Amino acid sequence: MTRRRLRGVLVGALALAMGTGALLAGAGTAGATTGTPTATSGTVTLTARGTGIDDDSPFARVSVDKACPANYQDALTVSLVVPDGRESLLASHLTGGAPYTKAPVTAQVPEASGNGTIVRSIATAFDVASVPVADGTYPIHVTCANADRANFPEHPTFTGFIDVTGDTWQVSGHAAPVATSVRLSADPAHHVQVGKPFTLTAKVAGGVPGAVQFEADNGVTVYDTPVPVVNGVATFQPPANTAPNVRSYIAVFIPADQLAYAQDYSVLSYSFVNAPSVTVTDADGNALGDSPQLTPGQHIKVSAQGFLPQSQEQVLPFVSNALALFAPVATDARGSVTGYDLTVPKLIARGSHTLTLTGLCSFVQVSFTFTTK
């Protein structure tokens, strides 16, 4: 099962081989989302409502002989794959029979749009993609989706085929495509400071020729044209990010021959952090300078930045040469800790000390030195 999702923006170009075939079914592979595959191969059955490419709703029913994977069982989407690998919507938000927890997964497709569902003719799908209708065999993606797409960006997909001839179409008997696999990673790993460069690397298994389309923000941002795979690898350097946040990056592997091989899809959640810094004030809000002298039992407030944003981690304070434990605190949307109320330990040795705040996931550290007597 290829992990794909409906793309609202249809861009990019890759010349792909087209052909005719003879079956009802297709298969794909499990892509990777921040680590764990969520899908396996399955057989798609498409039930035609008519034979005209201008029919408003070409399918009466779609079915897959496998259940949708966990967390992706709320709805189905059906899309046409045009020759350069882009998806164009045929039916969205099919929920009849949901949740799709058991095999077979079956959804009736309405004859017209309504109640949150959009249906389109095959001709309209070509037109939306700005691709002329041409005779040939085309993949059809049946995608499992979560209603919360922001937090569940993967869309595991099963693949079937249709044949288009002139103004008519029919369910294809083309043999199932061979599964492929793409994995996306970033350098530096896990996070990078805002404004600094980073590189995305997509690794394609099995030596399958093709290209990778890099995207961001669940497909809202599509970068340039697909990058050719060379020795199983495609790399891309997106523009530097200007604010601390978390973004999802996507690698869509588009085989050179989409009738022989299935697409695959990988998502990476990547964090952007501020440069580490710390500010300490006394209880009245007055900023403390470098290495101030503090009194055991004194209250201070600590603010720091440079950690993972959006409460992705907790920050743990630690004071050297002191018998004290401090409670961890979660980061805010910008990866900061603001106004943490800390009491200088009463049981603390005289001399110089270091207050260190450590991100428990990122291992980012910021430090502040002070003295006691």
pLDDT in tens, 68-119: 999 999 999 999 999 999 999 999 999 999 999 999 999 999 999 999 999 9
pLDDT-based confidence at residue 178 (cuts at 50, 70, 90): confident
| pLDDT value at residue 197 | 98
| pLDDT value at residue 47 | 97
pLDDT-based confidence at residue 34 (cuts at 50, 70, 90): very low
Q: Is the pLDDT of residue 29 over 50?
A: no
CB-CB neighbours of 257 under 10 Å: 15
| pLDDT value at residue 218 | 85
Q: 233-246, pLDDT tens digit by residue?
A: 999 999 999 999 99
pLDDT-based confidence at residue 13 (cuts at 50, 70, 90): very low
Least confident of 16-25, 45-54, 131-140, 309-318: 16-25
% the chain with pLDDT above 90: 81
Q: 246-279, pLDDT tens digit by residue?
A: 999 999 999 999 999 999 999 999 999 999 999 9
Q: Is the pLDDT of residue 151 over 90?
A: no
Q: Which residue has the tokens 């002191």?
A: 322
| pLDDT value at residue 209 | 97
| pLDDT value at residue 179 | 86
Q: 53-73, pLDDT tens digit by residue?
A: 999 999 999 999 999 999 999
CB neighbour class for 133 (10 Å; exposed up to 12, middle 13-18, buried from 19): middle
**Mean pLDDT value of segment 181-194:** 96
Q: Is the pLDDT of residue 38 over 70?
A: no
Query: Which amino acid is present at 136?
Result: G
Dihedral of CA atoms 286, 310, 194, 338 in degrees, nearest 10, equals 0
Q: What pTM, to 2 d.p., does this model score? A: 0.83
Residues β-bridged to residue 2: 157
DSSP of 120-184: --HHHHHHHTT----SEEEEEEEEEE-S-TTT----EEEEEEEEEETTEEEE--PPPPBP--EEE
- Whole-number mean pLDDT of the chain? 88
Q: 325-372, pLDDT tens digit by residue?
A: 999 999 999 999 999 999 999 999 999 999 999 999 999 999 999 999
- Coil/strand/helix, residue 220: coil
The encoded tokens of residue 230 equal: 């060379």
Q: 193-234, pLDDT tens digit by residue?
A: 999 999 999 999 999 999 999 999 988 899 989 999 999 999
Q: Is the pLDDT of residue 41 over 70?
A: yes
**Mean pLDDT value of segment 172-182:** 89
Give the integer Cα–Cα distance in Å for 98 and 94: 8
Q: Is the pLDDT of residue 15 over 60?
A: no
**Mean pLDDT value of segment 14-20:** 31
Q: Is the pLDDT of residue 2 over 50?
A: no
CB-CB neighbours of 326 under 10 Å: 18
| pLDDT value at residue 162 | 98
| pLDDT value at residue 135 | 98
- Choose among 9, 327, 39: nearest CA to 155: 39
**Mean pLDDT value of segment 300-312:** 95
